[in-house]
Structure 1
């Protein structure tokens, strides 16, 4: 066979594993394990902020898996483990599967000999839902739950009063609410509840991205990897204008803060390291939870502000689903379906 110029499969396979058959990227060896696949994908592809931490988690848990073993049987076992041992919600399972599927698809284009078929694309419809066997093995079944928490009348005012130090601690709370840079916390809250921006999108803003006169914020790098313009309600633009003036006057607890690196808010140190960003997001979430608890909104979460802002876009404007999705950054219009009934409900309230 060799004399005839035909390379046996076992030799070709060995050469490929050693990098002897070339590389899909100049100077980059073909990945042999799942960890190498994910590392190469993260290094050479602009991965969305949503997928990157999930891929790092998968690499830590299953990085030793050889790509020759990345087949439908392994994927099926992995999904089953996420349900029966981890007891993850279907939505969480779909996110992990989507992240890994994208990484595998990218690798297949560059090294088609590494993975002949993407096994994650072979999963059946409804793969993330719990079967009766899954339910018995896990002891319970997780379902996709859509939080529908909105700001109740008076809550926004109580939260702002808490930030400003205008109300005492609620009964049972011994420690008063002490905030660093309270004026920044107030402006940040107003921006979140009035723009539908994600936490990270808001706290990583720079001055050059904000055009108060045009009431527009330019997001250069979002969770989904897209760029988008976010129009602002007039009250949000005014809140940002007041905040910038407060910084200049060094009032509102802003003494010493002068927008280093053009950063709009002081919660972020300017690092784009994924781990540093995750820690900042956690820290900001905890800060907002403290504020909400002090205002008597114990069950309110930071992400609920994005939900409230999206509701306001439906209630206060005549924008279409597609236009609102461009503002909020929702790629899947199905995620906006639950908001569609809001306008109907509002009109019904006006009927005698």
Structure 2
């Protein structure tokens, strides 16, 4: 049975005690609001549909972000970027809001704030993805079943079209000439294998079989291990490498590769070329310079779907024109 009582001069408290449920109370500005809430809550209890909002109404977004960082992020392979993202989110005005009060409009306002600051659509998308995971985790693991995920209802920023940057004639030679010797080997290896940056720096000698022309990748982005065949170029790179005490083939961190790529591109006078573009280039070359079929290429690159593989493939018009004139795949080489 609900009890309605006045608290001070401005508020009314509704308190419900019902067998099988924890004591539930909530404060309102008017008696009518308190009575309406009590009536609706007792009705849902009677139907067995009541879900307590106590947990969701007890914590702010910032407090939940702290708990999320402590409990969830250690499961990730590399949580550093997410830790940084959480630290930035806790500085926003929305972080001081109680979880149960955050609505899709608040998420949309946050998105608009970030857009006005000139933040890229992809960065905003990653912020929203983290918040979405937090709300879902709070519902599933923290007893906040009453929460809805406001991120799911809010519109997302429109992402730009995928990158199509490829190495133009002469750019590969200029890039390699500008690279330090050890980094030039990594660039050559990336172009020969289409491996991701993290896969390259995570590769260990115990997973390399030069005689069998293959490497085994056990730690990939999509968490599915795969075997990558090694071309002559890839084997030439590996055979010329010294062994490192760590057991890693390329003893660098991912961000170090990106920094070295930026330095080399500036020295070579190459504009808008990133390390990840080497994976696009290598994948496109598989289609242009070999007779591998699409499923074989998908197995090498590790793309989960053909749609994702298509996003990484940017074929040159000259090669397509030659194919129209009867040339076979692998016969037309990049000049």
The normalised TM-score by structure 1 is 0.66
217 and 104 in structure 1: CA distance in 2 versus 1, 3 angstrom threshold: farther
Q: Which residue of 2 aligns with 1:144?
A: 160
Which moves more between the two structures, 307-316 or 5-14? 5-14
Q: C-alpha displacement at 1:296, in angstroms?
A: 4.1
Question: Contact 1:159–1:291 at 8 Å: present in 2 too?
Answer: yes
Report the equivalent of 1:71: 103
CA deviations 1:82-117 (Å, max 9, x no partner) are 22234422x333333233323432342223435532
Aligned partner (choices 310, 326, 329) of residue 283 of structure 2? 310
Using the TM superposition, give the Cα deviation of residue 342 of structure 1 relative to its aligned residue in structure 2, in angstroms: 2.5
Which residue number in structure 2 is paired with residue 194 of structure 1? 192
Aligned residue in 2 for 1:262? 247
Give the distance between the partners of 1:323 and 1:104, measured in 2 at CA: 39
128, 133, 136: which one aligns with 1:105:
136
Q: Which has the higher contact order (CA 8 A, sep 6+)?
A: 1
Contact persistence 1:219–1:228 (CA under 8 A): yes
Equivalent residue, structure 2, for 1:93: 124
Q: How many residues align?
A: 279
Q: Distance in 2 between matches of 1:93 and 1:333?
A: 27
What do residues 216-237 of structure 1 show as CA deviations (whole Å, max 9, x unaligned)? 2222222343333222322112
For residues 106 and 340 of structure 1, do their structure 2 counterparts lie closer, same or farther at Cα, with a shift above 3 Å needed?
Answer: same
CA RMSD of aligned residues (A): 3.4
Structure 2 SS opposite 1:260:
coil
Is the 1:210–1:216 Cα contact (8 Å) retained in structure 2? Answer: yes
CA distance in 1, matches of 2:134, 2:297: 29
User: 1:267-346 maps to which residues of 2 (within 5 A)?
Assistant: 267=252, 280-319=253-292, 321=294, 323-331=296-304, 333-338=306-311, 342=315, 346=319
Partner of 2:81: 53
Q: 1:207 maps to which residue?
A: 205
Distance 1:224 1:339, change over 3 A: closer
8 Å CA contact 1:219–1:230 kept in 2: the answer is yes
1:47-106 per-position Cα deviation (integer Å, ceiling 9, x unaligned):
365x761464134323554322343232222222222234422x3333332333234323
Shift of 1:41: 1.6
Q: Any gaps of 5 or more consecutive residues in structure 2?
A: 2-16, 27-51, 326-335
Task: Say whether the 8 Å CA contact 1:228–1:329 is kept in structure 2.
Answer: yes
Distance in 2 between residues matched to 1:84 and 1:15, nearest whole Å? 33
Residues 34 and 64, structure 1, Cα contact 8 Å, conserved in 2: no
Unaligned runs of 5+ in 1: 20-30, 130-142, 164-178, 248-257, 268-279
Check whether the contact 2:193–2:230 (CA below 8 A) recurs between aligned residues: yes
Q: Which moved more, 1:93-102 or 1:323-332?
A: 323-332
